Amino acid sequence: MLPDIDSLGLFVRAAELHSLSKAAEASHIGVAAASRRIALLEHRFRTTLLERSPRGVELTAAGVSLLGHAKTLLVHLNHMNADMNDHAAGRKGVLRIIANTSAMTEYLPDDLATFARENPDVRLVVEERWSAEAVQLLQAGEADIGIVVEGSRTEGLETFAYRTDRLAVIALPGHALVQLEQMRFEDVLDHDLIALESGASMMRLLAEQAVVLEKSLS
Amino acid sequence: MLPDIDSLGLFVRAAELHSLSKAAEASHIGVAAASRRIALLEHRFRTTLLERSPRGVELTAAGVSLLGHAKTLLVHLNHMNADMNDHAAGRKGVLRIIANTSAMTEYLPDDLATFARENPDVRLVVEERWSAEAVQLLQAGEADIGIVVEGSRTEGLETFAYRTDRLAVIALPGHALVQLEQMRFEDVLDHDLIALESGASMMRLLAEQAVVLEKSLS
DNA sequence: GAGCGTTACGCTAATCGTAACCATG
DNA sequence: CATGGTTACGATTAGCGTAACGCTC
């Protein structure tokens, strides 16, 4: 039911070289075998993939579709192989972590240092991204762990509470906010704010809270 | 060099059922064959994937890594198969289009109607997303065409100009802006605006232009 | 001894390369 | 007639199931 990898690789080469013969050579098999493998692929899919002519092959519509899938599939397979090579070489693998700005600067460095000390064989790759991007990368399998701000849309992902982040307001001495005995988020909204870029999830979160309070971030 | 799909499928089942025998049965092959296939996989990767015990199998660290890769790989393979089945059935495939709000409401419906009339065998799937999300989906191969606002980060993607969008300012009669003979973007920035959500790319674009003019959106 | 995984041994079936065969510019 | 793809045939080999075996609870 499922097609085999080698044939897909052959197909990709044939499609890109516009030639079965070249593809066969590149795949280190005979032309006859190549022809049959493609034919088998077509029979399996019940569709013609290549338009044959005496001076090469061209993709059909179905071929174009398959080419896209096959290429990303092969790329993924290479990632897998690389990972497994890491394991074979003793490294226990790569842990890809995506963190937002606050985690990156606050808690993460310490935690990562501890983890790295206890697991010297695990290679850590850390990237800083906005929460929304982090979720996308996680869903695409491009990363293993993401640290995002509360309230992010995390469909299909497992979530755990990591740390609590405290936000502070900085104002000039004598500013109206400083006069207050107890400052609530609501009070802050009455003033102009200098904060993060508007794309940051932190800001989205603040904006959502502002809406709840029937005010707006300005 | 590359592992075969069937073995990966077997491995996934073995990992999830914690049993080689069950996995063999589920894969419609004998236990002996299953054992050998896993052994071959391990030999190929030069790593042990499963910890054997008299009452089943458990994943090793390398096995956990492989399981993740194998599962997403198999999912992708199913997508591919589905697509090819579409082609076999005469449908020329699915064109997945991601559009932002303005394209969705302005130009796209007409263009899609025309295309659908001329290509009845192509199934169209349209989704509305913000430009940044659209780019992510395209890069992940989850969509074929995206319509985004100018200035989006489109690394690794081909871009073409689609349509020009005209923005309008709506104000009460007698508003300062209405008095102007000719209104420039710069002039608009001197006033408070009610526009789209701050996450929308359109807003990012406006904000960038505002920065160029040394003003700010408020 | 019941359950589970592994190894040994024939056998079948898939796959290959060589070579002869078509089609087109 | 040179180029590129296809089909035929014999040989190789990779993969299967049956069956015997080893280990642990």
Ordered structural domains, chain B, with CATH:
5-82 (1.10.10.10), 91-164 (3.40.190.10), 176-212 (no CATH)
State residue A191's pLDDT score. Answer: 73
Chain A positions contacting chain B at CB under 8 Å are 1-6, 9, 45-47, 61-62, 65-66, 68-70, 72-73, 76-77, 79-81, 83-85, 87-88, 92-93, 132-133, 136, 140-141, 198-199, 203-204, 207, 218
State residue B139's pLDDT score. Answer: 78
Which tokens belong to A214? Answer: 């029937």
Name the more confident of B130 and A197. Answer: B130
Most confident of A130-139, B56-65, B190-199: B56-65
Confidence tier at A127 by pLDDT (50, 70, 90): confident
Separation of alpha carbons B98 and B164, rounded Å: 17
- Residue of B83, B86, B87, B98 to mutate, interface with A, max A Cβ within 10 Å: B87
pLDDT over 60 (residue A217): no
pLDDT over 80 (residue B204): no
Determine how many CB atoms are found less than 10 A away from the CB of residue B148.
24
Q: Which of A45, A65, A84 sits opposite B66 (nearest CB)?
A: A84
CA of B19: how far to CAs of A18, A84, A159, B9, B58, in Å? 45, 22, 29, 14, 8
State residue B18's pLDDT score. Answer: 95
Cβ of residue A59 lies below 7 Å from strand D = no
Confidence tier at B194 by pLDDT (50, 70, 90): confident
State residue B206's pLDDT score. Answer: 66
Of A7-16, A195-204, B12-21, least confident by mean pLDDT is: A195-204
Per the listing, tokens 């990767």 go with B45
Of B49-63, B103-117, B184-198, B203-217, least confident by mean pLDDT is: B203-217
State residue A199's pLDDT score. Answer: 52
